[in-house]
Chain A
Amino acid sequence: MSVGAGDPPPQHDAGVAVGVPPGSSDAGTDDILVRVDNLVKYFPIRSAELFRRTVGQVHAVDDVSLTIRRGQTLGLVGETGSGKSTLARCIAGLIPVTSGRVWFEDRQITNLSRRKMQPFRREIQMIFQDPYGSLNPRRRVGSIIGEPFAIHGLASGADRKRRVQELMERVGLNPEHYNRFPAEFSGGQRQRIGVARALALRPKLIICDEPVSALDVSIQAQVLNLLADLQDDYGLSYLFIAHDLDVVRHVSNSVAVMYLGRLAEVGPKAPIYEAPRHPYTAALLSAAPAADPESAAQRQRIILVGDIPSPINPPSGCRFHPRCPKARDLCAEAEPALEPRLGDPDTHLTACHFPIEAGESLAAAGRRETP
């Protein structure tokens, strides 16, 4: 736990380069921007009495390891309560972690002091979901976007204004609107303000937490295209959190699927979407509504039973077993390891005892009773 910021990163086990598209796995460690090792985040539940004893733990993120490559996008999907936002906040250093490590380039950045963390805050920025809640309504747009310059003492006065207006232009806002308030902008434009603010310090990683889910469809595409352009121009890496699987498929190079604080499956985009191994991934994909009546009519939908369980007392063994159409006795007893299954390459990892084989239909195995 008490690893200094200057320690070298741990040696790679053979092929743990999770979330890497095939063909680039031999590119070496230089390509890896962020590396998360066995990250755990529990939130204590305290009693209401005087000494506020800890009476339980919310297992928000439980032993998650992954890597984010330079210039690439890792999509993170999962339902409400799966821990994806908590994971993002741990990586950004916004909340302390319980155990595990986060490496940024070759530096360990977990639980650093405010002062030591400061330089890394320039490198890692966030874009939030709610374009209404994440901008201070009483400050002008110019000062919102320029705040990172002020905090890091990088530019002031006319220089700051010039740089803010360049940023506004870059994200498709009218630089003349420098003195307007957030309320004078539409949802899509506000999200552009959030993007400009995140971009101000030329970060290497931007964590996008549901950046387009509050936007209308026609506006979503505008913001997604903007994010793609910025990635091309500045070589940004994204950790892209979303519940819309079509959006994640569009933007990601690789995808990690979370369920109840753990990774269910992680790997390059194509195999995850075309031949998912984990029954939860398959169910999630089959549940997503496709804007295409014919494929909707043909689709074999896997209807899961019940809701996501409480992360306070996660189910034994595989956390998905109470809802899994393929669950057997072993699933309730032993927790499956996240590893390549059924001869998958070592970039595609699945945490399941009975992964889905090629051509297997889960809809047939699915229980169709109402919960």
Chain B
Amino acid sequence: MSLLEVTDLRVSFPTADGVVQAVRGVSFTVEAGQTLGIVGESGSGKTVLTQTLLRLTPGGDISGEARFDGIDLLAIPDEDMRRVRGAQIAVIFQDPLTSLHPLFRVGWQISEMIRAHDKSVSKRQGRALAIDLLGRVGIPQPQQRVDDYPHQFSGGMRQRAMIAMALALSPKMIIADEPTTALDATVQAQILELLLELQRESGTALIMITHDLGVVADIADEVMVMYAGRAAEKGSKHEIFYEPHHPYTKGLLESIPNSSAGADRLKPISGQPPSLINLPTGCKFHPRCIYVMDRCVREEPPLVAVGGDGWHRSACWLPPAAAGLGSQAEEARRKVVNKARDGEAAQVAASISGSPDAEGQVIA
């Protein structure tokens, strides 16, 4: 049995402008000791998804199921949830400065977190544990630094302190929401290395939310690519990076400046992500998709298996043979698209090729 099993999770927020459909039916599993990378752009729903698992999205209309270690996170009483949060599932947020209270000493905050869950720990023991944890995450001279305030720590050290706090109660799973986005490259490397090392030691499962495909390539086992509140594609790291099936995944990979591509022009995805209040019809990616077909405008594709073993799944009407970055896959895509486009889809395709970002790549 998987450690975490999320089934058809939906979250929407009623607002004055309309209903924001932040998460629209997402299912995934996380195994113990594994790392799931969730990739997506701003507004793809990746943060709402994981915060809902922790019941941190009050005001949202939530449906679906999230079984963690045998309990349904979305159904248990608030009181029980408080015992799960922090102790069984810990979170590391993007911005360590706003996640630490500026007026309390770092060590006190770690100790308080432990003591909130385990009343038998004395203040003295809590402090000793905090020193031990700060040492484990690589803070120099933890005996002295334990009494520092957050502003006395650098950005990297604050993120280390957040990791120390996350580790404090040996959780079964850690959710890291863009943990290195605010950090410099050399410090980011330190923090990723630390997370991997700690995961190897303790066997904790990790959900890594990021917009940075480089971070995912580094540390994830499985990858889920999100677009407009749904999984566009799921698979092993290798499948996502070398055999992408969904045109959005492919577009993301191709829009990164790549060292081997040299001075070639970049291939951006034209247009921008849709508003979650006014979603397009059919496939939510179709207004930006260079492979748009008639069916895409009308029907939203289900997430179906496209790879041999059934784990590689993609929500796209293109046939399984269309997976990959090579010319063979491109041939397969063109063959299908040329036959399946007239009327509406042809119009969409024309508007993509007419947009200023298009690089003349739309199939005519």
Binding site for B on A (CB under 8 A): 79-80, 171-172, 186-189, 216-222, 224-226, 228, 243, 245-247, 249-251, 273, 283-284, 286-293, 296, 301, 303-304, 306-308, 370-371
Contacts and interface: CB of A to CB of B under 8 A. Distances in A.
The 8 A-B pairs with the shortest beta carbon distances in the complex, nearest first, are: A289-B214, A172-B356, A221-B268, A250-B257, A287-B189, A221-B255, A218-B269, A291-B213
Interface in B223-238: 237-238
Contacts of A308: 184
Most buried by A among B41, B156, B186, B270: B186
A256 B33 CA distance: 41
A246 B259 contact: yes
A216 B186 contact: no
Contacts of A307: 154, 156-157, 187
A284 B140 CA distance: 22
Given A284-B185, A296-B218, A371-B140, A217 B356 contact: no
Contacts of A187: 42
6 contacts: A218-B255, A219-B41, A251-B257, A291-B258, A293-B242, A304-B190
B256 interface: yes
Most buried by B among A187, A188, A224, A291: A291
Contact of A288 (B138, B214, B258, B356): B214
A222 B266 CA distance: 8
B251 A304 contact: no
B193 interface: yes
A292 B265 contact: no
A216 B190 contact: no
Contacts of A290: 214, 217, 259
B253 interface: yes
B300 interface: no
Contact of B266 (A250, A286, A306): A250
A273 B272 contact: no
A350 to B, nearest CB: 18
Contacts of B272: 186, 188-189, 219
B267 interface: yes
B38 to A, nearest CB: 15
- Sorting the interface of chain B by its residue count into under 10, 10 to 19, 20 to 34 or 35 or more gives 35 or more
Nearest to B215: A289
A216 B43 CA distance: 10
A94 to B, nearest CB: 24
Contacts of A221: 255-257, 266-269
A226 B359 CA distance: 11
B245 interface: no
Contacts of B193: 301, 303
B226 to A, nearest CB: 12
Nearest to A216: B41
B346 interface: no
Interface in B50-99: none
B357 interface: yes
Given A243-B185, A250-B257, A371 B138 contact: yes
A104 B42 CA distance: 40
Nearest to B39: A217
Contacts of A218: 41, 251-252, 255, 268-269
A188 B241 CA distance: 25
B5 interface: no
A225 B213 contact: no
B47 interface: no
Contact of A292 (B154, B241, B355): B241
B14 to A, nearest CB: 22
Given A216-B41, A218-B269, A291-B256, A284 B186 contact: yes
Most buried by B among A80, A289, A290, A303: A289
A301 B359 CA distance: 35
Contacts of A303: 186, 189-190, 193
Interface in B249-292: 251-253, 255-259, 263, 265-270, 272-273
Given A224-B257, A307-B156, 18 more contacts: A79-B187, A172-B356, A216-B42, A217-B41, A218-B252, A222-B270, A225-B359, A243-B184, A249-B259, A284-B185, A288-B214, A289-B189, A289-B214, A289-B218, A292-B241, A293-B218, A293-B238, A307-B187
